[in-house]
A and B are shown apart, each in its own frame.
Chain A
Amino acid sequence: MTASPDKAQFLTAIEVGAEDWALPDAPLAMPEQDLAPRPFLLARLFRPARATVRA
Chain B
Amino acid sequence: MALAAGIAAGLMFLQYASASRLSHWAGVAAVLLTVSTCWLAWGAMLGLIGLWPALPRPPESRVIAGRTVIVMPVCNEDAVTTFARVAAMHRQLSDSPAMIDFAILSDTRSAEGARAEEAALRLLRAETAGRGGRIHYRRRAQNTGRKAGNVGEFIRRSGAAWDHALVLDADSLIESETVLAMIRRMEAAPTLALLQTLPRVVRARSLFGRAMQFSAAFHGPVFTRGLARMQGTTGPYWGHNALIRIRAFAECCGLPDLPGKPPFGGHILSHDYVEAALLARGGWVVRVDPDLGGSYEEAPENLVEHAKRDRRWCQGNLQHARLLRTAGLRFWSRATLFQGILAYVSSGLWAAFLVTAVLAGVWQSAPDYFPGIIMTYDDTIRFLPVFPSDESVRALGLLIGIFGLLLLPKILVAVEAAVTGRLTGFGGWRGIGAVAAELALSALIAPVLMAFQVRSLIQILSGRDGGWPPNLRGDGRMTLAESWSAARFMTLWALAALAAVQILAPGQLPWLLPVLLPMALAPVLIALTSRPAPRTFATPEDRQRPAILALHDTILDRWHAAA
Contact = CB atoms under 8 A, between A and B. Distances in A.
B247 interface: yes
B252 A33 contact: yes
Dominant secondary structure of chain A at its interface with chain B: loop
B158 A25 contact: yes
Contacts of A8: 141
B323 interface: yes
A16 to B, nearest CB: 4
A9 interface: yes
A30 B142 contact: no
B473 interface: no
A38 B328 contact: yes
Interface in A1-55: 8-13, 16, 18, 20-38
Contacts of B254: 30-33
Nearest to B117: A16
A33 B278 contact: yes
Interface in B292-326: 323, 325-326
Given A23-B103, A29-B156, A34-B327, A13 B121 contact: yes
A21 B137 contact: yes
Contacts of B139: 10-12
A23 B158 contact: yes
Interface residues of B, number: 41
A13 B117 CA distance: 10
B161 A18 contact: no
Given A21-B121, A24-B136, A33 B141 contact: no
B375 interface: no
A18 B137 contact: yes
B545 interface: no
Interface string B239-280: 000000011001111111010000000000000001000100
Contacts of A21: 121, 125, 134-137
Contacts of A12: 137-139
A23 B154 contact: yes
B138 A23 contact: yes
A40 B479 CA distance: 53
Nearest to B274: A35
Contacts of A10: 138-141
Scoring A18, A23, A36 by chain B CB atoms within 10 A of each residue's CB, the highest score goes to A23
Given A33-B256, A37-B325, A38-B325, A27 B142 contact: no
Given A27-B160, A35-B326, A18 B256 contact: no
A23 B278 CA distance: 27
Contacts of A11: 114, 138-141
Contacts of B327: 34, 36-38
A27 B278 CA distance: 21
A34 B247 CA distance: 18
A10 B157 CA distance: 11
Interface string B145-162: 000000010111111110
A22 to B, nearest CB: 7
A25 B251 CA distance: 19
B121 A32 contact: no
Contacts of A22: 136, 138
Given A30-B152, A34-B327, A13 B159 contact: no
Contacts of B291: none
Contacts of B250: 28-30
B95 interface: no
B118 interface: yes
11 contacts: A11-B114, A11-B140, A12-B138, A18-B121, A25-B158, A28-B246, A30-B156, A30-B251, A33-B252, A35-B323, A38-B328
Given A12-B139, A13-B137, A35-B258, 5 more contacts: A21-B135, A23-B158, A28-B159, A30-B250, A35-B323
Q: Which 4 A-B pairs have the closest CB atoms?
A: A28-B159, A37-B325, A26-B161, A38-B327
